Protein backbone atom coordinates (compact mmCIF):
# COMPACT_ATOMS: atom_id res chain seq x y z
CA UNK A 1 0.00 0.00 0.00
CA UNK A 2 1.40 3.39 -1.00
CA UNK A 3 1.56 6.10 1.63
CA UNK A 4 0.24 9.46 0.50
CA UNK A 5 1.85 12.53 1.93
CA UNK A 6 0.45 16.00 2.12
CA UNK A 7 2.88 18.01 0.03
CA UNK A 8 4.53 20.96 1.67
CA UNK A 9 6.63 22.75 -0.87
CA UNK A 10 8.47 25.72 0.59
CA UNK A 11 10.50 28.01 -1.63
CA UNK A 12 12.78 30.64 -0.14
CA UNK A 13 14.24 33.48 -2.15
CA UNK A 14 17.97 33.11 -1.60
CA UNK A 15 20.76 35.05 -3.26
CA UNK A 16 22.51 32.90 -5.85
CA UNK A 17 26.18 32.04 -5.24
CA UNK A 18 28.64 34.64 -6.52
CA UNK A 19 31.09 32.08 -7.90
CA UNK A 20 28.95 29.07 -8.69
CA UNK A 21 30.33 25.57 -8.68
CA UNK A 22 28.40 22.34 -8.36
CA UNK A 23 28.64 22.12 -4.57
CA UNK A 24 27.63 25.77 -4.08
CA UNK A 25 24.71 25.36 -6.48
CA UNK A 26 23.53 22.24 -4.65
CA UNK A 27 23.72 24.15 -1.36
CA UNK A 28 21.84 27.07 -2.94
CA UNK A 29 19.12 24.75 -4.25
CA UNK A 30 18.81 23.16 -0.79
CA UNK A 31 18.50 26.58 0.86
CA UNK A 32 15.82 27.60 -1.63
CA UNK A 33 13.87 24.48 -0.64
CA UNK A 34 14.28 25.14 3.09
CA UNK A 35 17.10 22.65 3.67
CA UNK A 36 19.94 24.78 5.00
CA UNK A 37 23.14 22.71 4.78
CA UNK A 38 24.80 24.89 7.42
CA UNK A 39 22.04 24.20 9.96
CA UNK A 40 21.24 20.59 9.06
CA UNK A 41 24.35 18.86 7.77
CA UNK A 42 22.67 15.45 7.83
CA UNK A 43 19.90 16.56 5.46
CA UNK A 44 22.55 17.86 3.06
CA UNK A 45 24.57 14.61 3.27
CA UNK A 46 21.45 12.54 2.61
CA UNK A 47 20.59 14.76 -0.35
CA UNK A 48 24.10 14.20 -1.75
CA UNK A 49 23.61 10.42 -1.37
CA UNK A 50 20.33 10.71 -3.29
CA UNK A 51 21.99 12.69 -6.07
CA UNK A 52 24.88 10.21 -6.34
CA UNK A 53 22.53 7.23 -6.47
CA UNK A 54 20.34 9.02 -9.00
CA UNK A 55 23.33 9.50 -11.32
CA UNK A 56 23.72 5.71 -11.30
CA UNK A 57 19.99 5.23 -11.94
CA UNK A 58 19.51 3.80 -8.47
CA UNK A 59 18.00 4.71 -5.12
CA UNK A 60 19.40 4.56 -1.62
CA UNK A 61 18.58 2.51 1.45
CA UNK A 62 18.62 4.24 4.80
CA UNK A 63 20.86 1.53 6.23
CA UNK A 64 23.49 2.28 3.58
CA UNK A 65 23.57 5.94 4.59
CA UNK A 66 23.99 5.03 8.26
CA UNK A 67 27.00 2.86 7.38
CA UNK A 68 28.76 5.90 5.89
CA UNK A 69 27.70 8.34 8.61
CA UNK A 70 27.66 8.34 12.37
CA UNK A 71 23.86 8.66 12.62
CA UNK A 72 20.96 6.43 13.47
CA UNK A 73 18.70 4.90 10.87
CA UNK A 74 15.77 6.67 12.54
CA UNK A 75 17.42 10.04 11.87
CA UNK A 76 17.87 9.16 8.20
CA UNK A 77 14.25 7.95 7.91
CA UNK A 78 13.07 11.19 9.54
CA UNK A 79 14.87 13.24 6.88
CA UNK A 80 13.65 11.00 4.05
CA UNK A 81 10.09 11.57 5.26
CA UNK A 82 10.71 15.33 5.13
CA UNK A 83 12.02 14.98 1.57
CA UNK A 84 8.95 12.95 0.59
CA UNK A 85 6.58 15.54 2.07
CA UNK A 86 8.36 18.26 0.10
CA UNK A 87 7.90 16.31 -3.12
CA UNK A 88 11.62 15.72 -3.73
CA UNK A 89 11.75 12.00 -2.99
CA UNK A 90 9.63 8.89 -3.46
CA UNK A 91 10.02 5.49 -1.83
CA UNK A 92 9.92 2.30 -3.85
CA UNK A 93 10.32 -0.82 -1.78
CA UNK A 94 13.21 -0.31 0.63
CA UNK A 95 14.86 2.40 -1.50
CA UNK A 96 14.40 6.13 -1.76
CA UNK A 97 14.68 7.88 -5.13
CA UNK A 98 14.52 11.38 -6.45
CA UNK A 99 10.99 11.83 -7.70
CA UNK A 100 12.07 12.42 -11.30
CA UNK A 101 14.69 10.75 -13.45
CA UNK A 102 16.89 13.83 -12.94
CA UNK A 103 17.05 16.64 -10.43
CA UNK A 104 15.75 19.03 -13.09
CA UNK A 105 12.80 16.73 -13.78
CA UNK A 106 12.11 16.43 -10.05
CA UNK A 107 11.94 20.21 -9.72
CA UNK A 108 9.71 20.41 -12.82
CA UNK A 109 7.31 17.92 -11.19
CA UNK A 110 7.29 19.99 -8.00
CA UNK A 111 6.55 23.08 -10.12
CA UNK A 112 3.63 21.24 -11.75
CA UNK A 113 2.29 20.37 -8.26
CA UNK A 114 2.41 24.02 -7.25
CA UNK A 115 0.78 25.19 -10.49
CA UNK A 116 -2.07 22.66 -10.15
CA UNK A 117 -2.70 23.82 -6.61
CA UNK A 118 -2.57 27.49 -7.65
CA UNK A 119 -5.04 26.84 -10.49
CA UNK A 120 -7.39 25.21 -7.99
CA UNK A 121 -7.02 28.13 -5.57
CA UNK A 122 -7.77 30.63 -8.36
CA UNK A 123 -10.88 28.70 -9.43
CA UNK A 124 -12.18 28.54 -5.87
CA UNK A 125 -11.36 32.23 -5.40
CA UNK A 126 -13.42 33.11 -8.49
CA UNK A 127 -16.35 31.00 -7.22
CA UNK A 128 -16.21 32.74 -3.86
CA UNK A 129 -16.10 36.13 -5.62
CA UNK A 130 -19.16 35.21 -7.69
CA UNK A 131 -21.11 34.07 -4.64
CA UNK A 132 -20.20 37.15 -2.60
CA UNK A 133 -21.42 39.61 -5.26
Q: What is the pLDDT of residues 34-89, one digit of tens each?
A: 888 889 999 999 999 999 999 999 999 999 999 978 899 999 999 999 999 989 99
Stated pTM of the model: 0.83
At residue 99, the pLDDT reads: 95
Distance of alpha carbon 49 from alpha carbon 46, whole angstroms = 5
9 pLDDT higher than 90: no
Residues 98/51, Cβ–Cβ less than 8 Å:
yes
For the domain covering 22-132, report its CATH number.
1.10.10.10
Amino acid sequence: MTQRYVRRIIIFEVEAPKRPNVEEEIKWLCRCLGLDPDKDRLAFEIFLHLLAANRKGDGVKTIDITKNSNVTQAAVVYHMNLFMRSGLVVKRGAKYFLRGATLGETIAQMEADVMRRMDMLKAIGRRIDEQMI
